[in-house]
Amino acid sequence: MRAHEIDYTIHGEEMQFVEIELDPHEGVVAEAGSFMMMDDEIKMDTIFGDGSGQSQDILGSLFSAGKRLLTGESLFMTVFTNTSAGKKNISFASPYPGKIIPVDLNHFSGVFICQKDAFLCAAKGVSISIEFSKKLGRGFFGGEGFIMEKIEGDGMAFLHAGGTVIKKELKQGEILKVDTGCIVGFSHTVQYDIEFIGGIRNTIFGGEGVFFANLRGPGTVAIQSLPFSRLADRIIASAPSQGGKRKGEGSILGGIGDLLDGDNRF
C-alpha cells in the first residue's frame, strides 16, 4: 500500500506542533494522545495496529497490534481522514519540550529505525513495526533494550525528540560514540552496537553510565540533547521532600544547610 502524500508545516520552537494539510480522502495515522486540533469534516477512527494494511483479516490485524504492544505502545492507533471535497488541516503536538523531526522515508530506502517512544504521526500507509536487536550486549545495555521501532513505507513520518536535535551523516566505516539515551534514530544502513567505557573510576564516578553506543556508518543518525529519561530524573531529584521543601531549599549548602536551619527531620 502506497502512503498518502501529505503537506506539512512545523510551528513553534521548544514546544512544537506539526500541522498537516490533507487533500480529499487523504489520511494520517497517529499515536493516541498526540492530537491537538483539526478542521471540520475530518473523520477519526480508532484501529488495531498502524493502519498500513486495513484490508487484512482479523488475525493479521491482531498480529500488527501485538507487535506494537511489544514496543511498549498502545494496541490502538488513530487514523484521521479528510472526508470533504476540499483541503483540511490537522495538528499534532509534542508531548514534552523538544523538536519534531520530519522523516521522508523515500530518502532512507523506505526504512528508518528509531527509539520506542519517538514516533508521533505519519501518512496513512506507513508501517510502524518492531526491530529486534540480534546482539545480547546491545539488547541488555543499549538503553532501548532488545526492541526498537521500525518505520517503513514511501511517505512522511514525524518523530519527536527532547531538547535540541542534530543530524549526523556518517561515511563508510566512520564511528560515532553516543550516550545510549541520546539516540533518536538512524537509517537501516547504520550498524549499532554498545561499548564498555572501561576503567573503575570512569564506571563508578564518571556519571555518564557504563556503556557508549557505537554507531558505524554509512548512514544518517539523529541525536537528541535531552532524553526524556534524563529530564524526568532531574524533575524527580528536584521534587519536594516529605516536609514540603525542595531538596536543598533553604540554604546554598543544600542538605547541610537544612541541618543548620534546624530541619533535621527524617
Q: What are phi and psi of 227, to 5 degrees?
A: -60, 145
Reported confidence tier of residue 17, pLDDT bands at 50, 70, 90: very high
Domains of the chain: 7-237 (3.60.160.10)
Q: Which of 31-35, 81-85, 110-114, 133-137 has the lowest mean pLDDT?
A: 133-137
Q: Which range has the worst mean pLDDT, 31-45, 135-149, 230-244?
A: 135-149
Burial 178-196 (b: 16+ CB within 10 A, else e): bbbbbbbbbbeebebbbee
Task: Answer whether residue 57 shows pLDDT above 60.
Answer: no
pLDDT at res. 227: 84
- The CB-side HSE value for 176 (13 A sphere, CA atoms) comes to 24
187, 108 contact by CB (below 8 A): yes
Quickly state the pLDDT bin for 260 (edges 50, 70, 90). Answer: very low
- What does the block give as the cell for 32? 493516541
Burial class (CB in 10 A: 0-12, 13-18, 19+), 17: middle
CA distances (Å), origin 248, targets 44, 233, 240, 254, 265: 48, 16, 10, 4, 14
Inter-residue contact 164 to 99 (CB < 8 Å): yes
160-190 per-position pLDDT tens digit: 999 899 999 999 999 999 988 899 999 999 9
pLDDT band for position 77 (50/70/90)?
confident
**What pLDDT, on a 0 to 100 scale, did the predictor assign at position 261?**
46
Number of Cβ within a 10 Å radius of residue 4:
21
The torsion of the CA quartet 152, 154, 158, 159, rounded to 10 degrees, works out to: 30
Res 86: pLDDT:
96
The residue with greater pLDDT, 174 or 96, is 174
Q: Determine the pLDDT at residue 114.
A: 92
Q: Which helix (H) or strand (E) holds 83?
A: none
The per-residue pLDDT for range 192-241, each reduced to its tens digit, is 887 766 545 444 444 445 678 889 999 999 999 988 777 777 778 777 76
Please give the mean pLDDT across all residues of the chain: 78
Residues in the chain: 266
Q: Picking from 152-156, 219-223, 254-258, which range would have the lowest pLDDT averaged per residue? A: 254-258
CA dist., res. 196 & res. 148, Å (int)? 21
**Strands, sheet with 147-152, edge to edge from the N-terminal-most edge strand:** 127-132, 147-152, 111-114, 183-187, 219-224, 165-170
The mean pLDDT value for 74-79 works out to 79
Q: Is pLDDT at 154 greater than 60 in this prediction?
A: yes
Cα 209 → chain centroid = 21
**Quick one: pLDDT at residue 90?**
98
- Provide, rounded to the nearest whole percent, the portion of the chain with pLDDT above 90: 44
Please state which of the ranges 2-16, 49-63, 82-96, 157-171 shows the lowest mean pLDDT: 49-63
Binning pLDDT at 50, 70 and 90, where does residue 39 land? very high
145 backbone φψ class: left, alpha, beta (φ>0; ψ -120 to 50): left
Nearest to 225 by CA among 170, 165, 145, 151: 165
60 pLDDT more than 50? yes
Pairing mode, if any, of strands 98-104 and 111-114? Answer: unpaired
CA atoms within 13 A on the CB side of 66: 6
pTM of the prediction? 0.78
Residue that wins the pLDDT comparison between 20 and 64: 20
